[in-house]
Amino acid sequence: MANDTFLKACRRQPADHTPVWLMRQAGRYMKEYMAIREKHSFLEMCRNPELACEVTLQPIRAFDLDAAIIFADILLPLPGMGIKLEFAKNEGPVIGNPVRTRKDIDAITNINPEKDVPFLMQAIKMVRKELDGKVPLIGFSGAPFTLASYIIEGEGSRNYVHTKKIMYEDPGAWKALMDKIADVVIVYLKAQVEAGAQTLQLFDSWVGCLGPDDFKEFAMPYTKKVIDALKDTVPVINFGTNTGTYLDIVSQAGGDVIGVDWRVRLDTAWKTIGYGHAIQGNLDPVVLFGPVAAIRKRVKEIIDMAGGRPGHIFNLGHGIVLGTPVDNVRAVVDAVHEFSSKK
């Protein structure tokens, strides 16, 4: 591998510089991406290995990033579970048969990656070949709570009323659902490793709607189940959005790396998580809309908060926002390398 700083950081080994990649680094802020997106729907792009490979590589060509992440969507495993994914003309995905009852839960099946998501495995293989050891490739999945809340609500939600109703009214049904989803995520991620993913990230995008005690009882154990099952494969990054008030419980689920959003200071977050985990984060993505001097100042502050300790992976605290200036993405990546270089 030409550049293994990312994998070294996952394992908390010293490296020449702090590695950096950016959540949603393949996306609509790049004109190369939009050129493809204008001709294809988002789901078409996910399901076409050539297109998925191409957009995965676009940010690697454009910026000096230390890792690639496979282009995919967290909802890709759903059809294989018996959940109907529909797209309301150019709107976001909607679920035709949201899960609301014990019967709905019992009907959920595990996936067969070769049959249900073959395009993803093909895309991973193609990207690995194209990268040719330049930087490592990250595979990913939604974490169990986020997938559960999506298939229960059926679409984006403000308050997660249906999800929490099941949790509070029928904890047994909730457990059955989460165990099934955890099993799906395990199969899904193991297939990605088999295809060539060199690190895995769990995205728990929606789990921050839970208070600390609910998180500990209803979400964390299933993330832990997934991470435990992946122990002998590749490094795992455990990332939840808006979980800064209970990072101590997040880290109990495990993960070689804990990802943190921008609502916490990196130094105090790492202390809370424990130095036995690497840490990933945590620049506010909206800082990239500001002037370069302000961006560089904030990058330096985060590098300084990591204190030179091995095991910091620089990232945003959330995905790149639509409209982010490409030159400012470059400024972040280059500033991370400049401020952290040990050479």
Residues interacting with a copy of itself, by CB under 8 A?
159-161, 164-165, 167-169, 208, 210-214, 242, 244-246, 262-265, 284-287, 289-291, 294, 301, 317, 321, 323
5/149 with CB nearer a copy of itself: 149
Alpha carbon 325 to its chain centroid, in Å, reads: 22
Determine whether 4 is an active site residue: no
204/256 with CB nearer a copy of itself: 204
Determine whether 28 is an active site residue: yes
Candidate list 11, 16, 37, 284, residue with the active-site label: 37
35/161 with CB nearer a copy of itself: 161
Determine whether 246 is an active site residue: no
Candidate list 4, 12, 24, 298, residue with the active-site label: 24
Determine whether 222 is an active site residue: no
CB of 115 vs a copy of itself, minimal distance in Å = 36
**Encoded tokens for 208:** 């921050």
CA distance 242 to 237: 16
Determine whether 102 is an active site residue: no
CB of 284 vs a copy of itself, minimal distance in Å = 5
**Encoded tokens for 225:** 């189940």
Q: What is the DSSP string of 220-274?
A: HHHHHHHHHHTTTSS-EEEEETT-GGGHHHHHHT--SEEE--TTS-HHHHHHHH-
CA distance 8 to 179: 32
CB of 98 vs a copy of itself, minimal distance in Å = 16
Q: Count other Cβ atoms within 10 Å, centred on residue 90.
A: 7
Cβ contacts of 186 within 8 Å, gap of 6 or more = 225, 226, 229, 230
Closest CA to 21 of 69, 70, 58, 74: 69
Candidate list 11, 28, 263, 296, residue with the active-site label: 28
141/324 with CB nearer a copy of itself: 324
Q: What is the DSSP letter of 320?
A: P
Candidate list 150, 188, 222, 246, residue with the active-site label: 150
CB of 321 vs a copy of itself, minimal distance in Å = 5
**Encoded tokens for 56:** 């995965």
235/244 with CB nearer a copy of itself: 244
CB of 50 vs a copy of itself, minimal distance in Å = 32
Closest CA to 66 of 321, 342, 313: 313
Catalytic residues: 24, 28, 37, 73, 150
